Chains A and B, each alone.
Chain A
Amino acid sequence: MNLSLGKDLLGLEPLSGEQIRLILDTAEPFKEISERAIKKVPTLRGATIVNLFFEASTRTRVSFEFAEKRLSADTVNVAASGSSVSKGETLVDTARNLEAMRIDMVVIRHGASGAAQFLAERIESNVINAGDGTHEHPTQGLLDLLTLRDHFGKLDGLKVCIVGDVLHSRVARSNIWGLTKMGAEVGICGPRSLLPNAIDELGVTVFDRVEAAIEWADALNVLRLQLERMTAGYIPSLREYNRVFGVSRERLERAPHEVLILHPGPMNRGVEIDSDVADGPFSVILDQVTNGVAVRMAVLYLLSGGRPELAEAAKSGGGSPSAKGKRGDE
């Protein structure tokens, strides 16, 4: 059975459960590299990676950059401001120009749903979606899965509820696909004005009250509430959002069991999540950040043609083709 990921990572929806498991398993040996004094292996030496960020991002961009540098790739960061993009260049022209510079991979963050696929269909380089509009954010989904698996030892049968603005959340979509493909049950909770109208058709359980979601769930993935949702008329106020949907210690303490807390960041403390929950004993929010680097190393490694069984060996320097031309030769 061919478990390779193909050319690109555009989302978790197109992946099989086996492919997702492969990425998570491949991430395990990479975790250890980040714990070393010298956090670097030569796995992707000679490969050129462009981090193309059309939207502001700190966490995801830095996480990708660390993953690339720890695998010894040459990286270039392109941000929307200060590039030809701000001069009105189209995405297709940006893509063609990058391709003409003979690069190996592009990590793209873009405000339009489908932008990563658009790019992937037009260039030969591997494309990794680092978040496209309100569509998917697959590496975030993967690091959430890895964090849950680390904590519970399994994903199958786990009950995970995504709380918040699912309508506008690419993290929610990647989580829904990733979790359901790995056998977890997915709950969704939020004001109906911030849930897709057709949410029931995505194979999830919808909770109107956060108390019911907490009672049901083994883990909550609490989404960031974009402040502009209030001015756009989706909710009346951040204050009321916190009072009705906020994940507070008081609500968690009423639950019959411990509930693990995830958040993709950046957090609005006191809005979707209270500080004592975010900093509390059941929060794995910083573990998510740590796992983000390992998962992205695994994705870069697998897309570059690295073989999963060699990931362990890759830690000590061998085992993977480092640049494009060698892919698939072995």
Chain B
Amino acid sequence: MSKSILLQGGRVVDPSQKIDRVADVLLVGDTVEAVGERIAESAQAREGLETIDCRGLVVSPGFIDVHCHLREPGREEVETIASGARAAAAGGFTAVCAMPNTDPVTDNQAAVGFIIRQATLANAARVYPIGAISVGQRGESLAEFGEMVAAGAVAVSDDGKPVASAHLMRTALEYARTFGIPVADHCEEPTLAKGGAMNEGVVSARLGLKGVPSEAEEIMAIRDILLARRTGGHVHLCHMSTRGSVELIRWGKERGINVTAEVCPHHISLTEDAVEGYNTNAKMNPPLRTTDDVAALQEAVRDGTIDLIATDHAPHHYDEKEREFADAPNGIIGLETALAVNLTWLVASGIIDVSTLVEKMSCAPARVFHLPGGSLRRGSPADVTVFTPDEQWVVDPARFRSKGRNTPYTGKTLRGRVRSTIVGGRVAHRDGA
């Protein structure tokens, strides 16, 4: 007899079925059994039924993060697959995709298999490995996409190492078509970005920090879009940060080119001003940009130019960030603040509604990366996120499940909290537990 969970009386938001109304959700075993108004009575008869009172809460398909760094193998003191998967569950994510910039690099089937095994042991959020595009992320020769996909990889990316060679990018897009996986690229023209520590502009001029111009991202974004046009491959542009990139993606989509794009919560909420005072927790790549860029990205989330929101969760040891700005590593953690940042800056501010946010954090990631989930349709995986959309809380990194503490949101009051995260019919996270 498989276990059943009844999520009773919540506001069910499932854009995949265009549902946004108060209803019950019944999970039986590891799949969704039903969504409806009058299923509570019949469900009560089930043996071992757990009922979760969801009145006043939003019940949605589980969030999926297609871009995070779990640091294992190689930097287990910073994050492990287990701690990252628990942090994901605490942030409402039922599945995450782990980038391959591990040590050793996840560029072969054995490495992919290791991540899957560790994720199974962790028994928190699901973890889908992303394999490297090139052997050792060196940008020279293609890694074995076929074997990695057979072992469980869902996409390929050279992650923080942009694919400098246009030829390699082209062959990757062509070769990936056999396996139906997206090629995710970190768009950065390396000679323009070299040595840069923040956005190039008046703040970098004042602080005396080398800037990274918007064009470093945009040049590679349009190169990738044009190569997708040439090859018919699916290019997924990671963490877009500029107005220009948005315009280029819009251009590509209007022409039917197979391009998808993501934005990170920090790029729709913070500007380069956060760097003021040499705050290393506001240092990431791509860097925080200007108010105008933030506005363009928010609008692109609203109008669909940006397909989905991903965290780029990048934990670092606290003393790695406790140093001179130029020498501090790039990246911030994001799994446990993503929902609240998005609710605060996109929903509470009236740019999108809760349903669109669920689309960007759950349905679209599943669709774009061809992953199970992203829906509460009967037979879908029993991956569900229950959250309050407006409860206010103050960010205290000491309470994070992630080993990382490197967040620019410390002390900020955000809106919206995860109450329960259910993965495969099992409660993987309960608020306050």
Give residues in A with beta carbon < 8 Å to B: 13, 90-92, 110, 112-115, 117-118, 132-136, 170, 173, 196-199, 201-202
User: What's the nearest-Cβ distance from chain B to residue A89, in Å?
Assistant: 11
Binding site for A on B (CB under 8 A): 200-202, 204-211, 213, 277-278, 319, 322-327
Evaluate contact between B206 and A173: CB separation under 8 angstroms: yes
CB nearest neighbor in B for A136: B208
> In the complex, are the beta carbons of B213 and A91 less than 8 A apart?
no
A132 neighbours in B (Cβ, 8 Å)? 208
Task: Look across to chain B and name the residue whose beta carbon is closest to the beta carbon of A121.
Answer: B277
Which of these, B201, B204, B323, contacts A91 with CB under 8 Å?
A: B323
Q: Given A90-B319, A198-B202, A201-B202, answer yes or no on A117-B209 (Cβ-Cβ < 8 Å).
A: no
Q: How far is the CB of A169 from chain B (nearest CB, A)?
A: 9
Offer 16 A-B interface pairs, CB within 8 angstroms, sorted by A: A112-B327, A113-B209, A113-B278, A113-B325, A113-B326, A114-B207, A114-B209, A114-B278, A118-B324, A133-B208, A133-B326, A134-B210, A197-B205, A198-B202, A202-B205, A202-B206
Q: A90-B319, A112-B325, A117-B278 are in contact. Are A197 and B207 (CB under 8 A)?
A: no
> What are the residues of chain B within 8 A of A173 when measuring CB–CB?
206, 208
Report yes or no: B324 in contact with A197, Cβ–Cβ below 8 A: no
In whole Å, how far is B406's beta carbon from the nearest beta carbon of chain A? 15
Q: How far is the CB of B100 from chain A (nearest CB, A)?
A: 29
Knowing A113-B278, A117-B278, the reply to whether A201 touches B205 (Cβ < 8 A) is yes
Nearest Cβ in chain B — how far from A111, in angstroms? Answer: 8
B208 & A113 in contact (Cβ 8 Å cutoff): yes
Chain B residues whose CB sits within 8 angstroms of the CB of A113 once the complex forms: 207-209, 278, 324-326
Report yes or no: B324 in contact with A114, Cβ–Cβ below 8 A. Answer: yes
Instruction: For the complex of A and B, list the 3 residue pairs with the smallest distance between their C-beta atoms, beginning with the closest.
Output: A135-B208, A114-B278, A112-B324
For the complex, what is the distance from the CA of A135 to the CA of B203, rounded to whole Å? 11
Residues of A within 8 A of B327 (CB): 112
Measured CB to CB, the nearest residue on chain A to B194 is: A232
In Å, the complex CA distance between A202 and B202 comes to: 7
Per the bound structure, the CA–CA distance linking A199 and B211 in Å amounts to 13
Is the Cβ of B278 less than 8 Å from the Cβ of A118?
yes
Give every chain A residue within 8 A of B202 (Cβ-Cβ): 198, 201-202
Shortest CB-to-CB span from A173 to chain B, Å, is: 6
With A197-B213, A202-B206 given, name 14 new contacts (CB 8 A): A91-B324, A92-B322, A110-B324, A112-B327, A113-B326, A114-B278, A114-B324, A114-B326, A134-B208, A135-B209, A173-B206, A197-B205, A198-B200, A201-B205
Query: What is the CB-to-nearest-CB distance from B217 to chain A, in angstroms, rounded to a whole number?
Result: 16
Q: In the complex, what residues of A have CB within 8 A of residue B209's CB?
A: 113-114, 133-135
Min CB distance A275 to B, Å, is: 30
Give the shortest distance, in Å, between B324 (CB) and chain A (any CB). Answer: 4
> A197 contacts which chain B residues (CB < 8 A)?
200-201, 205, 211, 213
A135, B209: Cα distance in complex, Å? 7
Nearest Cβ distance between residue A49 and chain B, in whole angstroms? 22
Complex Cα spacing A117 to B275, Å: 13
Note all chain B residues with C-beta closer than 8 A to A135: 207-209
Give the residue name and chain of the B residue nearest to A198 (CB).
B202
B205 x A196 contact (CB < 8 A): yes
With known contacts A110-B324, A198-B205, A117–B277 Cβ distance under 8 A: yes
Q: Does A90 contact B323, Cβ atoms closer than 8 Å?
A: yes
- Given A197-B200, A197-B211: A112 touches B205 (CB 8 Å cut-off): no
| Highest count of chain A CB atoms <10 Å: which of B207, B209, B213, B327 | B207
CA distance A115 to B200 in the complex (A): 20
In the complex, A91→B280 CA distance in Å?
Answer: 14
The residue on A at minimum CB distance from B211 is A197
Chain B proximity of A199: nearest CB distance (Å): 7
Nearest-neighbor residue (CB-CB) of A134 within chain B:
B208
Chain A residues near B200 (CB-CB < 8 A): 197-198
With a cutoff of 8 Å between Cβ atoms, the chain A residues found around residue B319 in the complex are 90, 92
* Closest-CB distance, A295 to chain B (whole angstroms): 21
Cα(A218)–Cα(B31), bound, Å: 79
B280 to chain A, nearest CB (A): 9
Known contacts A90-B319, A201-B202, A202-B202: A112-B207 contact under CB 8 Å: no
Report A-chain residues with C-beta under 8 Å of the C-beta of B201: 197-198
Residues of A contacting B325 in the complex (Cβ-Cβ under 8 angstroms):
112-114, 118
CB distance from A153 to the nearest CB of B (A): 30
CA distance A320 to B169 in the complex (A): 68
Most chain B beta-carbon contacts within 10 A, residue among A13, A114, A170, A202: A114
A90 partner residues in chain B, CB cutoff 8 A: 319, 322-323
B218 to chain A, nearest CB (A): 15
Q: Which residues of B contact A13 (CB under 8 A)?
A: 206
* A161 CB to nearest chain B CB (Å): 18
Nearest A residue to B277 via CB reads A117
Q: With a CB–CB cut-off of 8 A, which chain A residues contact B208?
A: 113-114, 132-136, 170, 173
Q: Least Cβ distance of B188 to chain A in Å?
A: 18
Shortest beta-carbon distance from B328 to chain A in Å: 10
Most A CB contacts (10 A, CB to CB) among B277, B324, B326 go to B324
Q: B209 to nearest A CB, angstroms?
A: 5
Shortest Cβ distance from A171 into chain B, in angstroms? 11
Instruction: Give chain B residues whose Cβ lies under 8 Å from the Cβ of A196.
Output: 204-205
Q: Are B326 and A112 in contact, with the CB atoms below 8 A?
A: yes
Most chain A Cβ neighbours within 10 Å, of B204, B208, B319, B325:
B208
B205 touches A199 (CB 8 A): yes
Give complex CA distance A197, B199 in Å. Answer: 12
Q: Report the separation of the CA atoms of residues A110 and B209 in the bound assembly, to the nearest whole angstrom.
A: 14
Residue on B with the closest CB to A233? B191
A170 to B, closest residue via Cβ: B208
Give Cα distance in the complex from A197 to B205, angstroms.
Answer: 8
**Chain B residue at minimal CB-CB distance from A166:** B205
